Structure 1
């Protein structure tokens, strides 16, 4: 059945011949084919909506056509006007056309009903090449009277000409918003601050541990004598122990007043340097495999490997090439000065004190111990270790922190430790009982030189000065 055009609408002004053709129910007159008739007659397709959102023109009014059922502009939703030249350019093209308009942005909105003024889908020609038909509704499989199944609402429809929702979501995730970027920046700064705080606290902790290692690991709370100090006479009295009661007492010598003292004014640094050279020459003849080596000029004991030898017998006449009479004289003078210093501090007569063994040079470095003789760092009591000792002294021949690290002398008192930092020419002396429990810190670097000189009150345990023969 031929399609009649256009349907009548209130307020629509048309050219006379088109109005007549429409009123008579006839096709458009052949004498003046209209655009609509030309479109229909050329390919047998009703003008359709294009996929890009265009609607074919309505009957011409001047240079513009009106789309029935719409109020908006031609390219926007709701119908409207389009240029006739644009519609004319699509003559004979049914590709990509949809028979009936549907909802959506940029599409004309008009229902295929008699009220809308547009022909229904059933009135279109049966054969419409390139103009797909909208599928009809599927038959209802439910029996009569059955309740309606719940309808699942589809996802939001993507706007025309845009990417699908899933694709847009992926793009949104690939390009974080400014808020997300700000959060990422804050998190990055936070991690940097945490890392800096961790490194700073680690450095502080490491410094504290290093200071603890340098200052000793035995709870040092007081430095009795610092290396940088030059002490005239410093003496601290402590209660005497009962160690002396188990030995024979000698009136005027056995300690009744106990304590410890330090002085830097008895032996000069030049004298200490000369005495150190004596020790270096003698210890160069041997030396322990461990970290502690000794040289006793009185008995001739010398550390060699893991053992001791008598250097006078072992080297014989070669000793005269190592030492001289002047060396032994320097040694004797230093011993006498130390003896008088101790006697004056404890109120004794120097003649009541006797030099006793062992009296020896020591050289200590950070080499690992090989025998028990190398383990010099254990706490000990001289009166217990050497029964003859009543007074002990040390003459330091090198400087703490300059020639070596570690190696401080530590008095281990109850509740507090007190240290003496070695200084070349410094004399440290004390009574030899358990009131002066002590130890030496491990030497961590460098070489520490000292000489231990001890005295007894028992003349049976006394020894003479070494002599150069």
Structure 2
């Protein structure tokens, strides 16, 4: 949604400046009757008003724009951005972005599949969870947040004789991953066999607990290609909805001409090129719990990871 801006025009008031001497004397007397303290208040109020107006106009120019809201339903929304220089020396030419963009799709992943994956995240993270506000579950490596560190969920399940993960969980996970892979390859015109799943690919849970480690501070702007190294394309599948399950927690692209915001929604897929053209952060959560899956892809076959399976 793009907000139009009306120009502010001064109101011109015409006054009769011709006055008789008597009138001038009366006006002077009235002026002298105004207490000096009130005059100073007026003089101080005017520059303050000017400053507030300037701040307002600046915020209108460089403020936030909702790219896709939680109440919107889009088949595909695309916002193209100029590619950064991060790809200038890219050696994987078949996979190198020909164009850079942000894409949101609401109808790619079925609601039932998204709800199933939400259930996977909830039951597994209930077993562990960070002592701070951000927890992860990585089905590929088995990493599960536990306190201020991580444990291996497969070892934990084996030692506790728990059967949290079923064959169906992995089947739906792979199905959704393949749908995302195909969508990114088609949008950016990449041969599918040149685009590989990479790490970290993980479920995330955010709540309002105070951060305990640097990993809990998810609200700092960053670039995925620089943060993770192997990333060329990043995607997020949202498993809960902004305004219903939580507030805060929106995904914000940081641009010089004003931030562009994606509001999470159950089953919504958002993906983008991972370079400096897409610096971003997640708004700090205000209340509720936010679940999502980050699914990342690389052009480098040496950084590929296999699909997880039931163990």
TM-score normalised by structure 1 residue count: 0.52
Q: Say yes or no: does 1:234 pair with 2:77.
A: yes
- Which residue in the other structure is 1:410 paired with? 252
Shift of 1:317: 5.7
**What are the superposed Cα offsets for residues 95-132 of structure 1, whole Å, 9 maximum, x if unpaired?**
xxxxxxxxxxxxxxxxxxxxxxxxxxxxxxxxxxxxxx
User: Do the aligned partners of 1:301 and 1:308 also contact (CA within 8 Å) in 2?
Assistant: yes
User: Do the aligned partners of 2:138 and 2:202 also contact (CA within 8 Å) in 1?
Assistant: yes
Q: Which contiguous aligned blocks of 4+ residues in structure 1 show a shift greater than 6 angstroms? A: none
Shift of 1:309: 1.3
User: Do the aligned partners of 1:382 and 1:433 also contact (CA within 8 Å) in 2?
Assistant: yes
Q: Say yes or no: does 1:300 pair with 2:142.
A: yes
Q: How far apart, CA to CA, are the structure 1 residues paired with 2:116 and 2:160?
A: 21
Shift of 1:256: 2.4
CA RMSD of aligned residues (A): 1.3
Q: How far apart, CA to CA, are the structure 1 residues paired with 2:137 and 2:297?
A: 18
- Which residue in the other structure is 1:288 paired with? 130
- Which residue in the other structure is 2:104 paired with? 262
User: Do the aligned partners of 1:380 and 1:438 also contact (CA within 8 Å) in 2?
Assistant: yes
Higher Cα Rg: structure 1 or 2?
Answer: 1
Shift of 1:237: 1.2
Q: How far apart, CA to CA, are the structure 2 residues paired with 1:456 and 1:316?
A: 32
Task: Point out the more displaced range, 372-381 or 317-326.
Answer: 317-326
Task: Give SS of 1:322's match.
Answer: coil
Q: How far apart, CA to CA, are the structure 2 residues paired with 1:393 and 1:279?
A: 17
Q: How far apart, CA to CA, are the structure 2 residues paired with 1:220 and 1:279?
A: 34
Change over 3 Å in CA distance of 1:412–1:467 after alignment to 2:
same
Which of 224, 246, 250 in structure 1 is aligned with 2:67?
224
Q: Say yes or no: does 1:437 pair with 2:258.
A: no
Shift of 1:243: 1.2
**What are the superposed Cα offsets for residues 307-331 of structure 1, whole Å, 9 maximum, x if unpaired?**
1111222332657610100100000
- Which residue in the other structure is 2:199 paired with? 357
Q: Say yes or no: does 1:253 pair with 2:253.
A: no
Q: Which runs of 5+ in 2 are unaligned?
A: 1-61
User: Do the aligned partners of 1:220 and 1:419 also contact (CA within 8 Å) in 2?
Assistant: no
Report matched runs for 1:5-16 at 5 Å. Answer: none
TM-score normalised by structure 2 residue count: 0.78
**What are the superposed Cα offsets for residues 249-282 of structure 1, whole Å, 9 maximum, x if unpaired?**
2122111211110000101222111110001111
Q: How far apart, CA to CA, are the structure 2 residues paired with 1:318 and 1:251?
A: 47
- Which residue in the other structure is 2:86 paired with? 243
Q: Which runs of 5+ in 1 are unaligned?
A: 1-218
